[in-house]
């Protein structure tokens, strides 16, 4: 039996060579054990506490947190989140949607393949009415819900109405999913995913659940965090599905408001986004659905033209720079070690490096040989 105390065990484990991810997990387990949230299994108590056991406890801790989060999602469900499960509710919703100028839309599906997967529910946010609804159409279980075809048919006047602006996150996917079932989604005016590419192209992630905490200050767990990697949305109980799906469109609308506010400060960017990027969404859907043909004969012909031009430029550059080259072998214009000193002598100034953008491009207008070299590199 181990005589080591838990405090000593933790010191030993933290003294190991741990990755940053493992160190975070270990710290989380230690804090949870000290606060009494989680403990060792009786069968393990007689054994020496190990890093492997700590990481197993971390997995159990995540499951406990997941269950607590799901319970809290249902218990703290906002009063304006509604589940639509009857024809009467749906007809009332369609009437309310008709009164909106813009709405947020999202689909929940069996997967991410727009050719084989199916819609299991549709969610809407109605900003003017301050309502956020989820319509389940293909969830498992015995809870009453409406038929998918009936729901889409009833929603068709809304889906096809260009005068009702639609805001989505990753609109290309949702448009394709509606078309997969024989319907369309017209009037898309904003995609918060592509808009975020315009506002900050260097985001680490463009997922809605990653953008919401950063820009809206709203903690939002991803699907995998809440339900596990192999979970299917259609198997999720409807009370939880409502909390998740309605929050998606609610966050999408709030992110749209945030983006629209900031993009309005850049009028030319806003105009470009609305007149080029948004209409392009439908073009992308068509391209992905129909494919496109590459003109291989022209590609071969054009490739030969480029090869001939590159060879001609290489010959001209070598001819101009050879008098300034000190090496014994022929000048290799692809060698930085040979080109930097040679080009420096040719132009009469020391080049710190051969960086095309920072060093060579500013000098191209003064030295034709550099202009040729940049074209050759291109």
The stretch 277-302 carries a mean pLDDT of 95
Q: Is 318 exposed, middle or buried (0-12, 13-18, 19+ CB in 10 A)?
A: middle
CA distances from 167 to 121, 186, 257 (A): 17, 11, 10
- Contact yes or no for 91/146 (Cβ under 8 A): no
User: Does the pLDDT value for residue 160 go beyond 90?
Assistant: yes
Q: What is the mean pLDDT of the chain?
A: 93
Band of pLDDT at residue 1, cut at 50, 70 and 90: very low
State the pairing for strand pair 119-126/102-109.
antiparallel
- The pLDDT of residue 65 is 82
- The pLDDT of residue 2 is 53
Strand positions, DSSP E, 98-201: 102-109, 119-126, 131-136, 165-168, 188-191
CA distances from 141 to 75, 87, 234 (A): 21, 19, 9
Determine the Cα–Cα distance for residues 211 and 106; give it in Å rounded to an integer. 16
Question: Among 159, 161, 162, 163, which Cα is nearest to 184's?
Answer: 159
pTM of the model: 0.70
CA distances from 244 to 106, 129, 221, 349 (A): 11, 20, 9, 63
Strand positions, DSSP E, 30-183: 81-83, 102-109, 119-126, 131-136, 165-168
- Where is pLDDT greater, at 225 or 299? 299
Band of pLDDT at residue 227, cut at 50, 70 and 90: confident
User: Does the pLDDT value for residue 326 go beyond 80?
Assistant: yes
The stretch 264-287 carries a mean pLDDT of 96
- The pLDDT of residue 339 is 94
- The pLDDT of residue 263 is 95
Determine the Cα–Cα distance for residues 233 and 41; give it in Å rounded to an integer. 32
Band of pLDDT at residue 10, cut at 50, 70 and 90: very high
What is the end-to-end Cα distance of the chain in Å, rounded?
Answer: 69
Side by side, which strands form the sheet with 165-168?
A: 81-83, 131-136, 119-126, 102-109, 165-168, 188-191
The gap from C-alpha 60 to its chain's centroid, in whole angstroms, comes to: 28
The stretch 57-81 carries a mean pLDDT of 86
Check the CA dihedral 127-133-246-178 and report its sign: negative
């Amino acid at each position: 039996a181990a005589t080591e105390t838990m405090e000593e065990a933790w010191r030993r484990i933290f003294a190991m060579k741990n990755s940053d991810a493992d160190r975070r997990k270990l710290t989380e387990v230690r804090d949870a054990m000290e606060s009494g949230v989680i403990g060792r299994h009786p069968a393990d108590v007689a054994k020496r506490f190990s890093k492997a056991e700590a990481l197993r406890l971390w997995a159990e801790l995540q499951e406990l947190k997941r269950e607590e989060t799901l319970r809290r999602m249902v218990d703290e469900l906002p009063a304006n989140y509604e589940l639509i499960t009857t024809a009467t509710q749906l007809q009332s919703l369609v009437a309310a949607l008709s009164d909106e100028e813009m709405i947020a839309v999202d689909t929940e599906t069996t997967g991410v393949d727009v050719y084989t997967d199916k819609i299991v529910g549709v969610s809407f946010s109605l900003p003017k009415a301050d309502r956020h609804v989820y319509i389940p159409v293909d969830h498992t279980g015995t809870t009453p819900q409406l038929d998918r075809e009936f729901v889409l048919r009833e929603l068709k006047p809304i889906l096809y109405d260009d005068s009702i602006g639609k805001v989505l996150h990753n609109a290309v996917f949702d448009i394709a999913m509606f078309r997969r079932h024989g319907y369309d989604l017209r009037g898309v005016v904003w995609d918060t995913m592509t808009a975020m590419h315009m506002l900050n192209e260097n985001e680490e992630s463009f997922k809605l659940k990653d953008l919401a905490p950063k820009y809206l200050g709203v903690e939002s767990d991803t699907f995998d965090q809440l339900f596990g990697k192999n979970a299917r949305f259609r198997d999720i109980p409807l009370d939880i599905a409502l909390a998740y799906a309605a929050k998606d469109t609610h966050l999408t609308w709030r992110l749209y408001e945030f983006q629209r506010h900031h993009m309005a400060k850049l009028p030319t960017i806003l105009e470009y986004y609305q007149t080029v990027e948004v209409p392009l969404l439908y073009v992308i859907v068509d391209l992905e659905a129909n494919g496109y043909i590459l003109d291989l004969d022209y590609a071969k012909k054009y490739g030969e033209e480029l090869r001939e031009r590159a060879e001609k430029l290489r010959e001209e550059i070598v001819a101009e720079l050879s008098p300034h080259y000190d090496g014994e072998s022929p000048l290799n214009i692809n060698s930085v070690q040979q080109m930097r000193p040679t080009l420096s002598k040719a132009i009469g100034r020391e080049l710190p490096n051969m960086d095309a953008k920072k060093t060579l491009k500013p000098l191209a207008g003064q030295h034709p040989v550099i202009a040729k070299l940049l074209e050759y590199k291109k």
